Amino acid sequence: MQDKKNTWQLLESEPAIDLKLFKARFDQVLNPRTKKAARITILTGNDSVNVFAFTQSGKVLLIKQYRFGIGAYILELPGGMVDDGEDHQQAAKRELMEETGYSAREWHYMGCVASNPVFMDSYIHHYLALGAGKVAEPELEDAEDIEALELPLAQVEQMLRNGEFQHPHTVSGVLRGVEGLKRL
DSSP class of residue 120 equals B
Spatial CB neighbours of 6, under 8 Å, sequence gap ≥ 6: none
Q: What percent of the chain has pLDDT over 70?
A: 97
Distance CA 181, CA 52 (A): 10
- Secondary structure of residue 175 in the 3-state scheme: helix
Each domain of the chain, given as residue ranges in start order, spans 9-44, 48-183
CATH number of 48-183: 3.90.79.10
Phi-psi region of 96 (alpha: psi -120 to 50; beta: other; left: phi over 0): alpha
Tell me the C-alpha distance between 127 and 79, whole Å. 10
pTM here is 0.90
Tens digit of each residue's pLDDT (9 = 90 or more) over 74-90: 999 999 999 999 999 99
Compute the distance between CA of residue 4 and CA of residue 51 in angstroms, rounded to an integer: 33
Query: Would the pLDDT of 17 be above 90?
Result: no
Q: What is the mean pLDDT of the chain?
A: 94
The string of pLDDT tens digits covering residues 58-77 is 999 999 999 999 999 999 99
The CA-based angle 96-180-86, given to 5 degrees, is 35
CA-to-CA distance for 67 and 143, rounded, in angstroms? Answer: 10
- pLDDT tens digit string along 122-157? 999 999 999 999 999 999 999 999 999 999 999 999
